Every structure is written in structure tokens, then in C-alpha cells.
Amino acid sequence: MNKTLLSLLGAAVFATAASASGAHAATAVRGLFASTAEGLRGQSPPVLKIWPGYSLDIDFLATGEVVRKIWHDGNRIAIDDDGCLVASSGQNAQSASQNQDCGARVLHLRQVVQPKDRRLTYGPHDVLTVITETPDHKFRRYKFQLLAVAPVKGKRGTGEPEYLAVRLVPDTAGEAFIETGGSLRATVDDVLRGLARANAKSLVPRNGALVARVNSFVASVRSGDSVESSAKSAGISMDLVTRLAVMGSTDQVGNGNAPKASSSTPAPLEGPSSEQQAEPEPGVGSEENEPTPAPSVQPEALPQSPPISALPLDTKKGSVGTPASQSPVALAVAASTEDELSRIRVPLKDGTDAPASDLLDVQAKIWHFEQGKWRVALGKFINALLETKDVVAACKKSGLPLNEVQYFLKSRRDQNLHASAVNVFNR
């Protein structure tokens, strides 16, 4: 039932966002919250793409900060600025610094046609570190991963770029944000709007226990508690919070920048009475079900799904096929796990990237190769990726080389996974 509710909410999110997707894809400016680039939530540095034949500007104007120093680890990207940082360094921004009177507010990036020294290119991304000074003379450090998009063979260029500029947007002081993927965030007001939409689409009952829990979550966040702790105390999962936030904020997304808070705060939906709330809620401590909701959308607490476990394969001599208790493709994957993996991008050698969720399909298709050796190895990598949220760290922790992961994903993209997997195992 939990999966059904999340699936219905996901379908509603997709339908609501469809009308805005065209405008969002066509925008030339991508908004990025300052705290995201600072890594304050422990996430990996954001990936910025530079297309061949196009430049990319990193714009600090909205934050009021002045760039004082930059470090560039890599050799695929050339950097300039609107001040005297690079000019004063004389090193093409490999380590640009300057006197106190020199600074910049916009960094200008473009691809280098041929790297001068390939020994300076260590991985799929260049890394850019930026030190800025705020108007009140405090210093901040930002870190970005720079991806030089490779041209398509036999074609000129790679098509229209997704964006031509990245604008750093200051976080609103004291306001709790909910990460919704990419460069966008939502607030608890968006959660209430999403809940109202879910109710209007008959995805949740208006007087159900789920409404009371969401209202409790919103009240806790507004009182100053963190989003994560508020969700836990209210008995709802962060996956559900994110789905509702996306449903409530989709109509405010259209220019690729950070969503603006609505001028009017939506009122919480009316939940069950105090007598109803005093009773144990279904799925938490009671065997009784709510009388109003349909079974497919029963409003229960939605716990975080556990990581994927690589199931053992029967390797006895003469054993063929799959044990009766298992299915070669029926991996026990919750919707939230697949969504979490879909938000993690794995860089490929051709300059493109692929969602990590594609690895679930790969794991199913290579189930029996080498008596399950590669399926287990891939399962360990997926578990590590869910834990670390970082591709390189997951490779190191699981022992599966990055080039093998890239090979699997590229093979899946080429629709030739079976033959390619055989080649992998024969290497």
C-alpha cells in the first residue's frame, strides 16, 4: 500500500510537471543555492556542464560576494573572469590569486580543444574551488565539478546546451528548505499545497491519519526543528515529504531558478478529531484500518526503505535456473530506493552520464553470469552508493572499479547488455 500511494503521488507529480518541463528545459540560466555549492548538507559538489562551442558563466551577483581566489584541478576547462583574478595570476586560473583590491563576480568557463598536459586530467571531472568574500567581510568556500560534454561523432556539436549560466542564489535565512532534486528546493508551504492537491485527486482522504501527521510535521518545522527530525517525529518518511513538496511547488518552477515562496501561506487540511488522534494509527500500533480510504491509498506511515541486499544464488553442482523462492528479475526494490538512485548520476567515458537506477536493470539481466559473482559485486556497489551518495566513494568501498560500472551502463544504453557482459567476464 505504501508503494501504491507513492506511485500515485509520483504519477501526479509527473503530470503536474509536464506542462512546465518545456519551459524549464529551454531556459539558459540554472539556479543553484549557495549552501549546495558549499556542501553544508554533506552532498557531493554540484556538477556543471560545459558544452563544446558554448561558454558557461558562474554568476555570484545575487549573493553580493566577490571572488577572491580560485583553484582549478584539471586541464579540460579554461577560465576567465570579469575582474583581474586570472589576469593577475598569469596561470590561466590553475591557481588564481591576487591582491586585496582585485576580485571578480562572474567566472567565464569554456572547453579547451586539446588539453596541454593530459597528466593533469585525473578523472571524468575537473574540480573548481572558489573562495569568496561576503559584503560583511566573511569568507566562503564553494566547490564545483566541471564536466566537459563530449561532441557526438559524425555530428557537429552536441545540440543545444541545457543552460549557459549558473546563478548562485542566497539561502533565505532561518527558512527550512526541502531538497527536491537538481537546483530546486521547496518549503513546508509547498508540502501543504501538495497535500491539498493529493486530496483533490483523491490520493489521500481528507480526514485520514496521514493528514494529521503531515500537519504535525509542518508545525514541528515551523517551530524550529529540522526537516528530517520533524518527519521522523511525525511518523512520515522523507520520500513522502519530497513527493508532496514537488506536487506543491511544480507550478512555481518555470524559469530554472530557485522557487519563490508564495505570498499566501496555505492553511493545513483539517485532520481527524482529537479523539481520533488519540487512538493508535494504522500501521503504527493498531490492527484496525481506517474506514474511509480505499485499500490502494491507505494513509499509513511510509518508512524509509532499506538498502538493496544482493541475494545469494544457488551454486550447487548441476543447479540451473533460479531457486523456486527467488526470481531472477524480482529484486526487492522499494519505489523510494529507485527514486533515490535515479537522482545520482554516474559519469560515462563519452562525457555523458546515466542515472544510477539503471544499475537495477543491469543487475537483473546479469543475474546468473559467473554464478552470480558480478550480480553480487554490483549489489555491493549499489548499497555503498545508497550509503555514500558518491560514485567514487562507492567504488572504493565496494571494490568495483568505476570503469566496470561505466561499461555496464554504456552496454545497457546500447541495448547490447548480454553480449557486452560476456565480454566483461571473459576479460
Q: Alpha carbon 361 to chain centroid distance?
A: 19
Per-residue confidence band for 133, with pLDDT thresholds at 50, 70 and 90: very high
Whether residues 281 and 390 fall in one domain: no
Instruction: Name 79's Cβ contacts closer than 8 Å, sequence gap at least 6.
Output: 70, 72, 86, 92, 93, 96, 107, 108, 109, 128
Residue 376 placed within a domain:
yes
Residue 370 placed within a domain:
yes
Residue 355 placed within a domain:
yes
Which structural domain range is residue 151 located in?
Answer: 29-163
Which carries the bigger pLDDT value, residue 271 or residue 306?
271
> What pLDDT, on a 0 to 100 scale, did the predictor assign at position 87?
65
Residues 345-403: tens digit of each pLDDT = 888 877 788 888 888 888 777 776 666 778 788 888 888 888 888 888 888 888 888 88
pTM reported for the whole predicted model = 0.43
Residue 119 placed within a domain:
yes
Whether residues 17 and 37 fall in one domain: no
Whether residues 18 and 33 fall in one domain: no
Whether residues 375 and 417 fall in one domain: yes
Whether residues 144 and 46 fall in one domain: yes
pLDDT(128) > 90: yes
Relative orientation angle of helices 238-249 and 335-342, to the nearest 10 degrees = 60
Per-residue confidence band for 224, with pLDDT thresholds at 50, 70 and 90: low
Cell numbers for 297, please give them: 491509498
Whether residues 38 and 15 fall in one domain: no
Residue 292 placed within a domain:
no
Domain count, the chain: 3
Question: In DSSP terms, which residues pair with 140 in a beta bridge?
Answer: 132
Per-position b or e across 308-333, b if 16+ CB within 10 A of its CB: bebbebeeeeeeeebeeeeebeebeb
pLDDT(319) > 50: no
The CATH number linked to 99 is 2.60.40
Instruction: Name 284's Cβ contacts closer than 8 Å, sequence gap at least 6.
Output: 235, 300, 301
Residue 311 placed within a domain:
no
Q: CA separation (Å) from 186 to 182, 198, 227?
A: 12, 17, 11
Instruction: Name 288's Cβ contacts closer than 8 Å, sequence gap at least 6.
Output: 282
Whether residues 35 and 154 fall in one domain: yes
pLDDT(338) > 70: yes
Whether residues 38 and 18 fall in one domain: no
Cell numbers for 210, please give them: 496521514
Residue pair 236/214 in contact by the 8 Å Cβ criterion: yes
Whether residues 391 and 418 fall in one domain: yes
Whether residues 347 and 373 fall in one domain: yes
